[in-house]
Amino acid sequence: TYTPGSVFKVVTTAAAIENIPDLDSRTFTCDGSVVINGNQINCLATHGQIDFKTALSHSCNVVFGELAVELGEEKMTAMANQMGFNASFEFDGIHTAKSVYQVKDASDDALAWSGIGQYTDLANPMHMAILMGAVANGGTPVLPHFVDSITTSFGLVTHMGYPQEGERMLSASTADRLKGYLRNNVSSYYGDNLFPSGMEVCAKTGTAEVGEGKAPTGWMIGFSANSSTPYAFAVAVEEGSSGIGSAGSVASAVLNRLAA
C-alpha cells in the first residue's frame, strides 16, 4: 500500500456529493494556503475564486482540506469504508492488503490532511482500480481475476474465470456525478490527447508526499467511459515525479497500446 495523495480526493468528493447539497453552486477561495487548528495546509498554487469542478481538476488542497473538516470524521469514515477502505478484496485465492483510512479522534488539521490523501492514509493500487471500475459501472464493482481458463493437455477445461460483482460502493447517482467530475479532469485539464481518441477517459492524479527528502509516489487512477473499451486502471509509481508526469505517462502508454 502507498500514501494516496490526491487520488483520495475521489472519496472526499463522493462524501461531499452526498452531504453538501449546494456543492456545485458554491464558490470556494484558495489563497495558496489555509490555517486549520493552528497548522498550515499548503496548496501547490493560489487558485483564487473557484467552483468545485475546478477545485477537483486543479487538485486544490485548501478546498479539499476544508471540505474534509466540514464533513467531519463520521461522514468521511463512512464514505471511505463504503468505497472499500479498511477492507481486503479476494480473487483467485489472493487477498489484497487493506487500504487504510483511520481518523478516529483526529484533530481538525489532521482530518484536513486526511481528506487530501495524506495524514496516515494508505491505498492499495488494486483496490483503487476496483473502485474506478465501480464508478464506471454505476457504483457496483466487478472483481478482477487473473486466470481466464485452465485446459488440460487433453483439451478438458478444468477452470473458468468469470467476473463477479462485489458489494455496491456508491449509489448510481453519486457514481454518475463523480464520473462527470473525473471526465472533466481529463477533458479540461490533463488533456484528451494523452489517450486514444474516443476512449473518453475519466481520471484523477495524485502526487503523494512520503517523507522529507524522498521523491513522491505518483498516481493516476481512472477508467474509460466508452463501453467498447471497458478498462479501469490504477498506476502508482514509487519515487516518481508528479502524478501526471510519472503515472500519467504509464497510463497513457498502456491505454494507447490496448487501442493499437
User: Model confidence over 75-105: pLDDT tens digits?
Assistant: 999 999 999 999 999 887 889 999 999 999 9
CB 144 within 8 A of CB 162: no
- Alpha carbon distance 81, 101 (integer Å): 8
The percent of residues above 70 in pLDDT, for the chain, comes to 100
3-state DSSP helix/strand/coil % of the chain, to nearest 5: 40, 20, 40
pLDDT band at 35 (very low <50, low <70, confident <90, very high): very high
Cell digits of residue 126: 488494486
Cell digits of residue 162: 468469470
Q: What are the DSSP E strand ranges found in 115-216?
A: 142-143, 149-151, 157-160, 164-165, 201-208
pLDDT band at 60 (very low <50, low <70, confident <90, very high): very high
CB neighbourhood size of 259 (10 A) = 14
User: Model confidence over 232-246: pLDDT tens digits?
Assistant: 999 999 999 888 999
CB 251 within 8 A of CB 206: no
Which of 109, 27, 115, 134 has the alpha carbon at shortest distance from 75?
Answer: 115
**What is the pLDDT, as a whole number, of residue 91?**
81
**What is the pLDDT, as a whole number, of residue 213?**
87
Which of 15, 143, 145, 144 has the alpha carbon at shortest distance from 83?
Answer: 15
pLDDT band at 155 (very low <50, low <70, confident <90, very high): confident
**What is the pLDDT, as a whole number, of residue 158?**
81
For the chain, how many structural domains are there in total? 1
pTM, two decimal places: 0.93
Which residue segment(s) compose the domain that 97 sits in? 5-259
Measured CA to CA in angstroms, residue 253 lies from 164, 182, 194, 217, 240 at distances of 28, 19, 9, 18, 16
Strand partners, 48: 30
In this prediction, residues 25-45 reach a mean pLDDT of: 95
DSSP state of 54: H
Residue 62 in this model has a pLDDT that exceeds 80:
yes
In this prediction, residues 172-187 reach a mean pLDDT of: 98
Residue 161 in this model has a pLDDT that exceeds 80:
no
Which of 24, 110, 22 has the alpha carbon at shortest distance from 65?
Answer: 110
- Alpha carbon distance 185, 59 (integer Å): 9
**What is the pLDDT, as a whole number, of residue 222?**
98
User: Model confidence over 135-154: pLDDT tens digits?
Assistant: 999 999 998 887 778 898 88
Check which CATH number belongs to the domain holding 105 and give it. 3.40.710.10
Cell digits of residue 14: 463522493
